[in-house]
Amino acid sequence: MRVFGRRPAFSGGIRLPAHQRREAEATIRQLPFAPRLLLPLRQHAGAASTAVVRAGDEVFRGQLLARADNDSAVPLHAPATGHVLRITEQPDALAGTVQVIELAALAGDTQEYTGGESHDPDRCSADELLAAIHEAGIVGLGGEAGSTHRRLVHARERAVRVLVINGIEGEPGFSRVPAMLARHGADVLAGLRCLRKVLGVERAVLAVETPDGAAARNLLEAAPGGTLPALRVLPPRYPQGAAGLLVRTLAGGAVDGHPAFAADEAVVFSLATVAEVGRMLSGGLAMTDQVITLAGEGLREPGNYRVPLGTPVGFALEQAGMRPEPDRVLAGGPMRGQALAALDRPIVKGATGFVAVAAGETADVPASMPCIRCGECVAACPLELHPAELGFLARRDEWQAMVEDFHLDRCFECGCCAYVCPSHIPLVQMFRTAKAQWRRAQARPAVEAAT
C-alpha cells in the first residue's frame, strides 16, 4: 500500500488551466506557397550552410540549395519550384550577418515534389538511414532546432539504451502533439523504427500528457505490430516537456513493470521530429516544410498548419485569418515566446509556432513592485534555482555572481518565476538580459585582443 504519492522527479513548475483537446486541434491544414520565400543559410542551431545556387538559377522543389560543410550544419533544400531572385546579407542574431536566399515561387506550377529515393527502415542499414537523415536536412522540431543527424551521432557515441519520444506540448495553447498523433501516426511509427535502428536501441518510451493520452493509446493499439514503445501518460505540468526534466521524470523508479533507467542512458526526440523522420525517409523527401501551430485571439482560424520553409510570418498569419493590427506577435508560445519586431521575417526550420495576441487578450501587467521574499518563484523554479536572489543580482548587474554562484546558465527561461511572482517582477526577462550581457562581457576580452 502506498501512503504517500510518488515524489515528483523535479519540484516546481506550474499547473496551467486544465485543457480538453478539441477535434479541430487534431487537424493540419496546408498553407499555400508565399510568392517570395526567404531562406537564411542558418536556420538551425549550428554553423551556416554554404549556398550551391546563384541568383537567377531555376530550382525545383526539393533541390539542394545549400550544403553542410560542418558537423553542426544541415543541408537546405528548395521549398518550392521557382527561381532564386537574389542572395543577400541580412542581420543575424548569432553572428552579425547571414546569407539569405530569396526564392520566387513559380506561380501556377503544380509544385510537384521531385523527391529522392525512399528509405525503408526495415531494409536499409543503420548507417544508410543515418546518412539519409543528414541529407534530408532534418533538425529537431521540439524548439531546439539542432541537427538531428548530429544528435544521433552523439547518442550513438555515448551508447544510449532508451529512446524517449517527447509527446509533451512545449507550450500551452499549442496542438502539434494531437495533430501528429492523429495525422502522422504511421510516420511516427516509421520514424520510431528508423531511430531505433540507427541507435541500436531496443527500448522506447512515448511520453504524453493526459489530454493526449487516449490518442496515443489508440495509435499504439492500432499499430500493425512489432516492438511498441511503452506509453507514459503524465498529468499536465509546465514545463515537464523540457528534455532534461522529462528524462528525470521517466527515469525515476520502476513504473508499470518497466524497469528504471539512468537519466544519462536516454536520448530524447520530440514527437514532431520522429514523425518528420518517418515521413521524409519513407517518402524520399527533404525537410522543405514543417507543421507549426498558429494560435491566439488575433487569428480567425488558429490551428496547425504545414508551412513551406521561408514563408514570411505575416503571410502565414494572414492565411490563418489574422485580424487587423494584432497587439503583438510572439515567435514561440505564450510562455517562452519572444515578441517579433517585424512580420516579414521567415519561418525557419525548427520553429514551433506563433501567437498573434489580440489587443485586450492579455491582462495588463501592473507595474512591478519590490520583492517581498515570499518564495513563490523559488518553489516554482523546476531547476531549483533561486530566482529572487538572481533578480536582486540582476538589478545590480552582477552577472558573474549570477552565473558562477547561482547557476544562471542552467536556466532555460521557462518563465515560471515571472508567471507566479505576486509583485509582477519581470524575472525571466531580467535573466535573459543578464545572460546576453554576460555573454558580451565574456566575449569582450577576445574582441579587444583581436582589434
Partner 1 sequence: MSGALAAGLALAALAVVLSGVLLLAGRFLHVDEDRRMEKLVSLLPGINCGACGQPGCRAFAEALLSGEAVPAGCSVSSAKARQRVADFLDVPVGEAERRVARLACAGDRNAARFLADYQGEPSCAAAAVVGDGGKACVWGCLGLGDCERSCDFDAIEMSPSGLPVVDEAKCTACGDCVRACPKDLFSIVPELQPLWIACNNPLEGNDLLETCKVACTACERCIRDAPDWLTLKRNLPVPIEGAKGRPPRSAIDRCPTGAIIWIEDGHPQSGASARLPRVLRARQQTT
Residue 341 sits in the site that holds partner 1 (CB under 8 A): yes
Residue 360 sits in the site that holds partner 1 (CB under 8 A): no
| SS3 label, residue 416 | helix
Nearer to partner 1, 261 or 431 (CB): 431
Report the nearest approach of partner 1 to the CB of residue 57 (Å): 21
Tell which one of 91, 257, 259, 445 touches partner 1 (CB under 8 A). 91
Tell which one of 444, 446, 449, 450 touches partner 1 (CB under 8 A). 444
Tell me, what amino acid is at 279? Answer: R
Tell which one of 30, 70, 338, 362 touches partner 1 (CB under 8 A). 338
Tell me, what amino acid is at 296? Answer: G
Peptide bond into 239 cis (omega under 30): yes
Q: What is the DSSP letter of 24?
A: G
Report the nearest approach of partner 1 to the CB of residue 369 (Å): 15
Q: Residue 254, Cβ neighbours under 10 Å: how many? A: 9
Do the beta carbons of residue 361 and residue 334 sit within 8 Å? no
- Which region, judged by CB under 8 A, interacts with partner 1, from 24-32, 83-91, 150-158, 301-309? 83-91
Residue 3 sits in the site that holds partner 1 (CB under 8 A): no
Residue 111 sits in the site that holds partner 1 (CB under 8 A): no
Nearer to partner 1, 72 or 433 (CB): 433
Strands 58-59 and 28-30: unpaired
Q: Residue 164, Cβ neighbours under 10 Å: how many? A: 25
Q: What is the sign of the dihedral through the CA atoms of 357, 363, 366 and 368?
A: negative
What x-and-dash track marks residues 284-323 binding partner 1 by CB under 8 A? ----------------------------------------
Residue 94 sits in the site that holds partner 1 (CB under 8 A): no
Q: What is the rounded CA–CA span in Å between residue 291 and residue 296?
A: 17
Report the nearest approach of partner 1 to the CB of residue 448 (Å): 10
Tell which one of 27, 63, 111, 437 touches partner 1 (CB under 8 A). 437
Phi-psi region of 67 (alpha: psi -120 to 50; beta: other; left: phi over 0): beta
Q: What is the rounded CA–CA span in Å between residue 427 and residue 425?
A: 5
Report the nearest approach of partner 1 to the CB of residue 429 (Å): 6
Report the nearest approach of partner 1 to the CB of residue 208 (Å): 32
Q: Give the three cell numbers for residue 341.
A: 519586431
Distances (CA, A) of 133 to 139, 200, 204, 284, 302: 9, 16, 19, 10, 31
Nearer to partner 1, 97 or 227 (CB): 97
**Residues in a beta bridge with 326:** none
- Which region, judged by CB under 8 A, interacts with partner 1, from 61-69, 176-184, 220-228, 434-442? 434-442
Q: What is the sign of the dihedral through the CA atoms of 125, 127, 128 and 132?
A: positive
Q: What is the rounded CA–CA span in Å between residue 192 and residue 250?
A: 18
Nearer to partner 1, 254 or 447 (CB): 447
What x-and-dash track marks residues 400-429 binding partner 1 by CB under 8 A? --------------------------x--x
Do the beta carbons of residue 349 and residue 75 sit within 8 Å? no
The size of the interface with partner 1 (CB under 8 A), counted in residues, is 22
Residue 89 sits in the site that holds partner 1 (CB under 8 A): yes
Nearer to partner 1, 159 or 441 (CB): 441
Q: What is the rounded CA–CA span in Å between residue 229 and residue 187?
A: 14
Residue 339 sits in the site that holds partner 1 (CB under 8 A): yes
Residues binding partner 1 (CB under 8 A): 89-91, 96-97, 328, 338-342, 426, 429-430, 432-433, 436-437, 440-441, 444, 447
